[in-house]
Structure 1
Amino acid sequence: MPAHTRRPFMNPAALTLASALASAGAMALPQEGASQSLTRPPSVILVMADQWRQEAFGFAGNEDVQTPALDQFARESICMANAVSTVPVCCPARASLLTGRRALSHGVFMNDVPLDPGMESMGKIFSRAGYFTAYIGKWHVDGHGRSAFIPVQRRQGFRYWKALECTHDYQHSAYYADAPVKRWWPGYDAEAQTEDAMHFIQSRARGRAPFLLVLSWGPPHEPYHTAPDRFRRLYQPDRLHLRPNVPAALAQDARRDLAGYYAHCTALDECFGKLWKACKTAGIEEDTLLIFTSDHGDMLYSHGSQKKQQPWEESARV
């Protein structure tokens, strides 16, 4: 899907999404002449990682991290290389992504503050435009407890639902569907969530209605050392390069955590590659907006800081 091609028209809901994605990292547009262009608007798949900073990709010039699928995606897509998170904190950034509003407007100005269920947001807009909406993974705009069931009226217009407010226990990760019964993703949750998204794509590929699918992963947010072993074995801390603004006294800790962080990134890259392939197999690649982004970045010891919520580019650029 070359970046210079696009359909001659777009559903207004897709334009609303584009305006709301202020933090979007890369976007593949439907090709002109796509097979279903006269029968239905383009479907939309938004893939969002948590705390994946802009420079942690091969295509961004990082020679340490292995992200072959996303590198290829960036070459074939529109890549917004200077994008920044509206607020580099999980809940405010996610609320902005859903609503297209700044934090002082939508009211989610810090973590664990609920987004008003009556506010206009992405899922509702797409539903009104005739889209079947789906959300899989981390939610984190409900504010009623990180492991609590989220009822339909607080799901912001999403119909297919396999989500949890927030967890970073990636090997023992829960979710809820329609009933208030806690279920568990098998194994590393991002892999299981991606498999579920692939099944959803296959089931909706030839339906009459287009769909909006949001796949929201928890990694590479800490804990950094919980990716599957086959990815962790790829990275040796003493071989990794640090940003020059990491204090020398913190270099050993930074390399240790960076190795685990990159392992998560490579695991997610493999998941993204599988999802992209599923779009091709289902025959919808040329009729789908496929978007990848992150809610914010990660300091990883730059300027002596960790995590996010800082004005520096390690935290804000995505």
Structure 2
Amino acid sequence: MTTDFSAETATAAVVDSFARASDPRLRELLSGLVRHLHDFVREVEPTRAEWEQAIAFLTATGQKCDDTRQEFIMLSDVLGVSMLVEEVNDRKEAAATDSTVLGPFHMVASPPRALGDSIDLTGSGEPCLVTGRVVSVDGTPLPGATLDVWQADDHGFYDVQQPDEQPRGNGRGLFTADAEGRFWFRSCVPSPYPIPTDGPVGALLAATGRHPYRPAHVHFIVTAEGHRPVTTHIFVAGSDYLESDAVFAVRESLVQEFTQVDAPERAAACGLPNPFRQARFDIVLQPEPSRSSN
């Protein structure tokens, strides 16, 4: 390291300090971070007061995190970083289902449920049936695929946000696809909702004139043996905020119709009132790359 630390020598000195890191990827990540962060400081020339405010903002962001809320994920989301990470990692075959953000509310384990069960434990929303198949890119069904599903209620709140009003596990379910890769479950049609605005991220959005709303959606994490897992959503066609999602997560391929179905016998067989809404979402997983033996 140099003792002659200046605006001209700062970056090289800090990057050099990581030269003996035993993990080459860690060295690459930290060196890149320092270069870009130093370039940012040189470009915008923050005052000491502004830098102290930035540190206070990050401190408050950390202090807002707990077992059921992750403010740093929301910060990453509203800055578009979460989706950018998805983009640079989503090098997939064209047929595979698009990925999107995890979001800040996948904080508890989803309860295992049987195919056809309802994840809407309060029954206050518009009933719907979600169906689909999990297949490989060549169309081969993936029996036994697991689907971790979660969504907000019809008022736009996740169970962890209202522990005194919603039963634990409301809007959540862990399903196993059948022998033909099929899955189906009952729920309520989700509604648009604002991400929480009572913390630093909400203050950031307000200060920049941005709204906090997300379009209506259902989350999925889908896994199957020998295939890459996918974290994705389905978005309700026609929902507000599809063009201005606060976390930039909408992909056209994930927008699905929740069609009204008027079929009394089918409704009765599914345990739903008639009429009801139905969405179909087929999920295509990409095989893991084969490992050639030496």
Tell me, yes or no, whether TM beats 0.5: no
TM-score, normalised with respect to structure 2 = 0.25
**Which structure would you say has the larger Rg?**
2
If each structure's helix is expressed as a fraction of its own residues, which one has the higher value? 1
Greater per-residue strand proportion: 2
Kindly indicate whether structure 1 or structure 2 has the higher relative contact order, using CA contacts under 8 Å at least 6 residues apart.
Answer: 1
